[in-house]
Amino acid sequence: MSRSISDVTTIATTNILPDDPGVLKGIIANLSLENEHLKRQTELLQHYIRELRKQHYGPRSERIHEEQQLFEFYGRLEKPTESAAPPETEPTPRPASRKSGRKVIPPDLRREVVVHDVAEHEKTCPKCKEARAKIGEDISERLEVKPAELYVVQDVRPKYACAKGCKTGVAQAEPPDQVIPKAKVGPSLLAHVLWAKYGLHLPLYREEIMFGMIGLSIPRSTLCQWIARCVELLLPIYEAMKRDVLSSEVIFSDDSPVRLLEPGLGKTRQARIWSYCGDLLHRQIVYEFTKTREQKWPREFLKDFRGVLQVDAYPGYNAILELEQILAAYCWAHSRRKLLEAEGSDKERSRVAVAFIGRLYGIEREIAGQSPKRKKRVRRSRSTKILRRFKKWLDREIQIVLPKSPIGQAIQYVRGHWEGLLTYTKNGAVEIDTNRVERSIRGWKLGLKNWLFLGSEDGGRWGAVIYSFVETCKLHGINPEAYLKDVLVRISTTPESQIHTLMPRLWRPPPDTS
């Protein structure tokens, strides 16, 4: 007796079991396929639940100690032999651990001495009635603070004329240059407003409250106008920083979402911040704000770049990576993350894969701080051997695992980006991951926790400019507020050909403030 699949399904769902063995085999086969499908779906859902729980409650670190990695689950593979370290140099020693305990108060702080003396009658010996001699003293220190102080600078310009009445005119000094003409604000207060907004992540309404607490009323609208004017002045330096980053051999790039308020609608939409970091010879960070995540934005920014672009595998970079003058370098941290996420469904394979990557990172820790030439030589002699074994393992395991399983998708991700993942072994200026540029997004993320969203597109562009200065100053150990105060004064008197000297990477404080 012959029946269609729909007949078999109908029989199965109505719990009617026929006597025909052929039909029963069809029902069993159908239920087996359905059961296998439900098992895969359940595993996938359990994987999503584990990842969500980990995001909310789990540790952020992705490190797995080597003692537990290798190779508890590595028995069926040939155990790799340790490569001897190249004889030219010894491994870089680990930095000394920070000492714990009470911190010393900086000696350059002003000391205000307060003497706590005994009463006069206690300075006399009660037995012999002679004056007691001072034999020493104990000194302890405590930190105190004075509230912020606003003060006014009066620019006085005396006038001089001939005492005999000669009509030779009046002599008077030229008025000093102002950062914002006709505005009663100086560079130090402007720099403070910028630093509070983009360095300390204070919304303008909080700055308004803080100024009010020390007796000065500065509306948010005025603070906003000041920021706009400062951005306009600093824009030539920002453009110079952009050109400097684009002249790098390697650029590290990443993007991050920000909320942008829709005008007149009272709701927000998702916009993007793109971060571009230069290499060691051009250590600067430049941000760009865009309303969307379209690939035209990085293509426009990087159209004149020649070199290596190190990014995650976001497809938005594909258009720019298709150009012949740009070589792709991908991130091993992203690959490791995907393999770690598959641990819940396939612990053995996940641990083995992460152990391979852990060995690569172990080599990177040894050569940290060394020259690009030295890094390339060590990577070619040691890392490539591990990578060959890892690729062989990936090619074998992909034939065994289910393609749609978490571990199958993770292995496919690594194999699909393999050439870009190998780029760091061919160029010592390339890093093993994009963690450097991902760290550069922290300032924006901390700001978002305070001001929640961008109030306008102009606000996004202003933030991109000022954050570029603030985060680059941090990178070079420069006080961002002191830097902004200085360049706001010097920008108007610096020739266009010398604007690049005001970039944080090349900036030097004036002698009288150093």
Give domain status of residue 222, yes or no.
no
476 and 338 in a single domain? The answer is: no
Locate 251 and state its tokens. Answer: 């650029």
Pairwise CA distance, residues 7 & 83, whole Å: 64
Give domain status of residue 283, yes or no.
yes
382 and 514 in a single domain? The answer is: no
Q: Pick the residue with more confidence: 28 or 271? A: 271
Taking each continuous run of H as one helix and of E as one strand, the counts in the chain are: 18, 7
* Whether residue 89 has pLDDT greater than 50: no
Give domain status of residue 169, yes or no.
no
Give domain status of residue 281, yes or no.
yes
User: For 52, how many CA atoms within 13 A lie in the half-sphere containing its CB?
Assistant: 6
305 and 440 in a single domain? The answer is: yes
* Whether residue 109 has pLDDT greater than 90: no
322 and 442 in a single domain? The answer is: yes
459 and 373 in a single domain? The answer is: no
Give domain status of residue 151, yes or no.
no
What's the domain count of the chain?
Answer: 3
Residue 417: what residue type? H
Give domain status of residue 262, yes or no.
yes
391 and 458 in a single domain? The answer is: no
- How distant is the alpha carbon of residue 60 from its chain centre? 15
309 and 347 in a single domain? The answer is: no
Q: Pick the residue with more confidence: 307 or 48? A: 307
Pairwise CA distance, residues 302 & 322, whole Å: 12
Region of poorest pLDDT, from 77-81, 210-214, 221-225, 415-419: 77-81
3-state secondary structure of 514: coil
C-alpha radius of gyration, the chain, whole number: 33
CA geometry: angle at 69 spanning 66 and 73, to 5°?
155
303 and 281 in a single domain? The answer is: yes
CA dihedral 442, 445, 446, 451 (to 10 degrees): 150
Give domain status of residue 138, yes or no.
no
Q: Which residues constitute the domain of residue 312? A: 232-330+434-514
Pairwise CA distance, residues 282 & 242, whole Å: 10
- Of 375, 406, 430, the residue that ends a domain is 430
pLDDT tens, residue by residue, 462-503: 999 999 999 999 999 999 999 999 999 999 889 999 999 999
Q: Pick the residue with more confidence: 90 or 185? A: 185
Sequence-distant (≥ 6) Cβ neighbours of residue 201 within 8 angstroms = 443, 446, 447, 449, 450, 451
Kindly state the DSSP code that residue 458 receives in the 8-state scheme: H
Region of poorest pLDDT, from 70-79, 115-124, 258-267, 438-447: 70-79
Pairwise CA distance, residues 374 & 372, whole Å: 5
Q: How confident is the model at residue 63 (pLDDT cuts 50, 70, 90)?
A: low
- Three-class HEC string of 48-76: HHHHHHHHHHCCCCCCCCHHHHCCCCCCC
280 and 420 in a single domain? The answer is: no
- Of 379, 398, 430, the residue that ends a domain is 430
Q: Give the pLDDT confidence score for residue 258 in this predicted structure.
A: 93
321 and 442 in a single domain? The answer is: yes
Reported for 316-321, long-range contacts at CB under 8 A and 24+ positions apart, including other chains, are 316/255, 317/253, 319/295, 320/295
CA geometry: angle at 341 spanning 336 and 345, to 5°?
125
Tell me if 349 sits within 8 A of 72, measured CB to CB. Answer: no
Residue 159 main-chain phi, psi, to 5 deg: -110, 140
Give domain status of residue 44, yes or no.
no
326 and 336 in a single domain? The answer is: no
Angle between helices 406-416 and 21-57 (to 10 degrees): 70
345 and 288 in a single domain? The answer is: no
- The pLDDT of 384-398, averaged and rounded, is 95
Tell me if 333 sits within 8 A of 433, measured CB to CB. Answer: yes
- The pLDDT of 270-286, averaged and rounded, is 94
- Of 430, 445, 473, the residue that ends a domain is 430
